[in-house]
Structure 1
């Protein structure tokens, strides 16, 4: 008897635990009447009057925030924005078979998107600050994280909207999913005639909108919101068919595109891991690395500086790429042609060069030693202050992405003379103008107190 009671007691305990969890996670607890929730979402769908002006002003605020690279201003603009209304309206309409609401939501979303892009384009056409800041560049290409944020943010938004007591979840969703900055970035792309920025930013907005609508649709179906009733059953079937076709046309391509984003994100992470783990050498460093991904072309380009790496080693490194999941990936390794096998020899050559350059000017032995020590100190100072100089250069040149500074031996083949040259490598997000290049060169001369600076641009 006791043996029979034990399993029965365990079953009762399991049932109590399941009931407890069910009550804890019950979405119907504290739920607003479904019709009231439907009316609440419908009211926020329309874009006219005050809603339209609020959107315009919010777009101006967001554009300014992107322009001056202010995260706080961008967040404030997203709190003001009423863009969530028609997007959630689309998901609700699909969930309750309301074709009229679907058309109204799509029409209002189209108006909102057009006004938003037009407003931001006007702003970026007249602003004196035309550099693409980091906040703006972050909205030019969607990642897997954007898809996940839109999906889970949309779920949080519709659940919060269906409660009797409204919380601050919907404004939070608007901030998390970042609907406005991509539209402002699309406007920047039009203003600067940069098609890549426009397409990338609009693509990000589209992905966010679809997955927020999908989240709304799923919760509406799960919570069994009442569907729109039709007196004419033929019309009801026709509307259901239209809704189904629209849902398939919208969701299937979006899921396919989201899948592509996932694959690309995984590939990029694998490529970065491959470079950081396998491109490690005693006397050679990775100067920069570029990753290019498309369905037909996957490329890793790595630039090395220091000792030359032999072809056998490079071949072994490329073979290891397969173990990182980098199949069908072209790996290009660029090396400098001035490989020095002995670092002591490099130091000796520098000291010799410094001595010969100043021998005719300075006759006293003590002065000669002092000068050499000063030159060597300057060499080391430039090397160790490279990061500080890079940060300062970024302030003057916001488009600067990568920067390095060092002294190198340069041989003049015509004069048969070897000299030291301060060499700077700079990589910009967009090709710098001639005036900006000159400005950077002159500033480096002044900052490093060098007579000549060799500037390599990428």
Structure 2
């Protein structure tokens, strides 16, 4: 039974002859002639995809890219201790990297569109998940290479490990002199290259490819070197993953605070911006018709620490011009053609909805339950208590005698789910 299980998962089943695999890997290392032209074209396609934020175009560029060749070659060279092959692989990888950075930097420099799109931004902050994707993608790739029947994993590996987009993003960083983008994207590219190489090394050792050296001292040195490099590459990615976790946690906590303190109390939020990376962290809000005093704003700021948002400042924008410009700025990120007229119309519609009671059956139910009632009118109006702000109150006007207003108010509270209800009798006949 156990032998059958081991035979079922044995990687040696369906394995290609080792000399043929090595010959194939060696042949795909060089970047000369057609390979170099294909790489340059793939870089331009990927750069255009990042520029116009097209996922399909980026995937197409990754599929035609020949970048995997020298990386897999380096993994095979390490696994077989073939230093001449390792030197050749690194040389060609450096050539490919230099050409890719140069072509993408030139494209983004001459391109009139230099907006940072989401596809580009996603390649500037690698973390531990990128390490896992590169490693397991590399495992799939090298296992497929060592099979007699290659199957279809290779295109999937090219997409999953994503070597092209970070290189193009690094080129964008160079073209726009944004070196934080350059270093973040180039670090992601380095992670992908390194862990594909390490995955290849492990599979080559597991499949027992013949070694080019006999001295065990060299093997130990290589293993120690690989271990040190793995630690050096992984530690920063753990930090970035931890930082990403804290950012997501902060954003979720801030969203919950806004919902609990404002939205659940009936205040319509028309603008919200949560910034984790500022110092202090900020939550910017604007409301449809509610105006807060400085005392109220200070009170909300004091509540932040009790809600897990220590070191955060809450800002409520109440200047109409300021609010309008902020909303337009946010919307223009998605659609640069939107006009100020559209914002005004949207704001008026939202304001109108707060006064509207859209229940076509309510009047019929009132007439059935209270047959003595006449001339019914209802809606939401602003009530001004002894404060500096107004409250919306559902108000019903009627004429007629023998109506129990308290009973009618209690029924309406349940019927339309409104706490503040005012019943007024008029003299209209």
Query: What is the number of residues matched between the two proteins?
Result: 331
Change (3 A) 1:426 1:448: closer
Question: Which has the larger displacement, 308-317 or 89-98?
Answer: 308-317
Aligned residues of 1:94 and 1:247 also touching (Cα < 8 A): no
Question: Which has the larger displacement, 112-121 or 88-97?
Answer: 88-97
Change (3 A) 1:428 1:195: farther
Deviations 1:269-321 (A, max 9, x none): 2222212223322226471101229xxx8x63211334645555544442342
Change (3 A) 1:217 1:315: farther
In structure 2, how many angstroms separate the alpha carbons of the residues matched to 1:93 and 1:119? 29
Match of 1:64 among 48, 63, 85: 48
Q: Specify the alignment match of 1:229 in structure 2.
A: 213
**SS of structure 2 residue aligned to 1:279:** helix
In structure 2, stretches of 5+ residues that fail to align are 346-429
In structure 1, stretches of 5+ residues that fail to align are 1-15, 339-407, 411-420, 451-458
Q: Specify the alignment match of 1:291 in structure 2.
A: 276
**SS of structure 2 residue aligned to 1:423:** helix
Match of 1:183 among 146, 149, 167: 167
Tell me how far 1:149 sits from its aligned partner. 1.5
Change (3 A) 1:228 1:88: same
In structure 1, how many angstroms separate the alpha carbons of the residues matched to 2:343 and 2:268? 25
TM-score, with length taken from structure 2: 0.69
Match of 1:319 among 306, 322, 343: 306
**SS of structure 1 residue aligned to 2:286:** strand
Structure 2 counterparts to residues 418-457 of structure 1, below 5 A: 423-426=324-327, 444-445=339-340, 447=342
In structure 1, how many angstroms separate the alpha carbons of the residues matched to 2:10 and 2:187? 35
1:156 and 2:140 are equivalent in the alignment: yes
Question: Which has the larger displacement, 242-251 or 196-205?
Answer: 242-251
Aligned residues of 1:69 and 1:134 also touching (Cα < 8 A): yes
Q: Specify the alignment match of 1:269 in structure 2.
A: 248
1:86 and 2:67 are equivalent in the alignment: no
Tell me how far 1:249 sits from its aligned partner. 4.5
Q: Specify the alignment match of 2:257 in structure 1.
A: 278
Q: Specify the alignment match of 1:45 in structure 2.
A: 29
Question: RMSD in angstroms over aligned alpha carbons?
Answer: 3.1
Q: Specify the alignment match of 1:334 in structure 2.
A: 315
Q: Specify the alignment match of 1:255 in structure 2.
A: 234
Aligned residues of 2:126 and 2:237 also touching (Cα < 8 A): no
Tell me how far 1:258 sits from its aligned partner. 2.0
Tell me how far 1:447 sits from its aligned partner. 4.4
Tell me how far 1:184 sits from its aligned partner. 1.1
Aligned residues of 1:46 and 1:86 also touching (Cα < 8 A): yes
Structure of greater Rg: 2
Q: Specify the alignment match of 2:285 in structure 1.
A: 304
Runs of 4+ in 1 over 3 A off after TM superposition: 18-21, 239-242, 306-317, 426-429, 445-450
In structure 1, how many angstroms separate the alpha carbons of the residues matched to 2:202 and 2:221? 18
